[in-house]
Amino acid sequence: MRVCFLVRNISMPSGIERVTSVIANRLAEQGVAVSIVSLWGGLEPFYPKHEAVSLHQLFSSQVRSASRWVAMLRRLGRVPLASWRLRQLLRQYPQDILIDTDYLLGQVALPAVPGMSVRHVHWEHFSFNLDLDKPHKLLGRRLIARATRGIVTLTQRDREYWLKGARVRGEIAAIPNPVPFEMPETTYQPDTFIVLAVGRLNYQKGFDRLIESWAEMKNEKGNDVSHWTLRILGDGEEEHELKQKAHQLGVNDSIEFLPATKDVDHYYRNASILAMTSRFEGFPMVLLEAQSYGLPIVAFDCDTGPAEIISDGESGFLVAQGDTHGFAHQLASLIQDSELRMKFSANARDSVSRFKPEAIVVQWNRYLENLMSTK
């Protein structure tokens, strides 16, 4: 079986590229012929790569411009060219299955495969409902549902959204992402006095809301939280605004901003709580990573993802989406209860075993074999 993954850039740090690397490596270990094609600049992988996995790229660099509108027009102009180059690549290196990994790449792959024997699968990493107020997004998803041979979602809830919102013709399955590394041998430390948050500093991750909750918690009379620090690990376009917000709310002295790094292991080991305030997610890998280190979690219950990972009141707290007051309250209660942190930690380690790579790749193998058996 020959399987090709289409990603944006395997050379860049990204949750999608990371989990793609994990699945690709596991399939390669089992003898599957695996290729990864990057839309641009993907010949030096950021994450570990099995020696049998081959890498290709459609463009050597990303479209950039001082004007985002000019850059957008240039990117749109590249889509037909990208489709043509992908088609040429599939002719040169024939594949049995082509798996695109996001909405844009689905639009690149669709015109590349007609008349070829390759089975095209769309791997949805966000939610079907994301940006449905934009007509072209709904139309695009419906086109993907009708034209592809299969769809893989990360949650059962999102699988149901696809079935209700589009006429899915192919094989559709919900396969969660795996923990992207071996389960670490570590002892949870409940009293490091560090709350960790990890992710790109952008609108999606909602760190503005985290800072608001942190400020409310710090300023609430009676909360014994003065010795705790919020550590935010990541880069992004909102860094300046977030630092400014922390200063305006008077909590800049208790918040650390640190750049993104490959060595997240060090930060997970030295934290006592993980906080996640995303506005939307597909299947938030940061929650799996945190649970593998035994970290209790406080997270907003965004549309898809958190509720399938966290058992509310058992391994963490799920807070109603956007309720910054409720988030501050639950975070404060966890900070002030060491025994509760220990309980959540033990349950988190037990829970995350469902997402070990060896368990998830079994589901992928079953799905791909079923796909190969259909005409």
238 near 202, Cβ under 8 Å? yes
Q: Residue 133: which pLDDT band, with cuts at 50, 70 and 90? A: low
pLDDT at 259: 95
| The pLDDT of residue 72 is above 70 | no
Closest CA to 140 of 85, 131, 39, 149: 131
256 DSSP β-pair partners: 231
pLDDT in tens, 3-24: 999 999 999 888 899 999 999 9
Distances (CA, A) of 49 to 95, 264, 304: 19, 18, 29
**Residue 342 to residue 270: CA distance in whole angstroms:** 15
pLDDT in tens, 312-349: 999 999 999 999 999 999 999 999 999 999 999 999 98
Q: Give the residue-averaged pLDDT of 200-223.
A: 94
pLDDT in tens, 157-211: 899 999 998 889 999 999 999 987 777 888 899 999 999 999 999 999 999 999 9
pLDDT in tens, 77-121: 678 889 999 999 999 999 999 999 998 899 999 999 999 999 999
pLDDT at 360: 95
What the chain holds in terms of domains, given with CATH numbers, is 2-178+356-373 (3.40.50.2000), 194-354 (3.40.50.2000)
Q: Residue 62: which pLDDT band, with cuts at 50, 70 and 90? A: low
Q: Residue 64: which pLDDT band, with cuts at 50, 70 and 90? A: low
pLDDT at 70: 40
349 near 314, Cβ under 8 Å? no
Q: Give the residue-averaged pLDDT of 42-66.
A: 83
Residue type, 231: R
**Residue 176 to residue 168: CA distance in whole angstroms:** 19
Closest CA to 4 of 89, 61, 85, 126: 89
Residue-averaged pLDDT of the chain:
91
Residue type, 352: V
User: How far does the chain reach from its first CA to its final CA, in angstroms?
Assistant: 15
57 near 42, Cβ under 8 Å? yes
Q: Residue 291: which pLDDT band, with cuts at 50, 70 and 90? A: very high
210 near 230, Cβ under 8 Å? yes
**Residue 113 to residue 65: CA distance in whole angstroms:** 30
4 DSSP β-pair partners: 35, 98
User: Residue 244 — φ and ψ, nearest 5°?
Assistant: -65, -40
pLDDT in tens, 252-272: 999 999 999 878 999 999 999
11 near 41, Cβ under 8 Å? yes
**How many C-beta neighbours within 10 Å does residue 44 have?**
9
Residue type, 322: G
Orientation of helix 15-29 relative to helix 357-373, angle to 10°: 70
Q: Residue 63: which pLDDT band, with cuts at 50, 70 and 90? A: low
**Residue 26 to residue 81: CA distance in whole angstroms:** 31
pLDDT at 132: 65
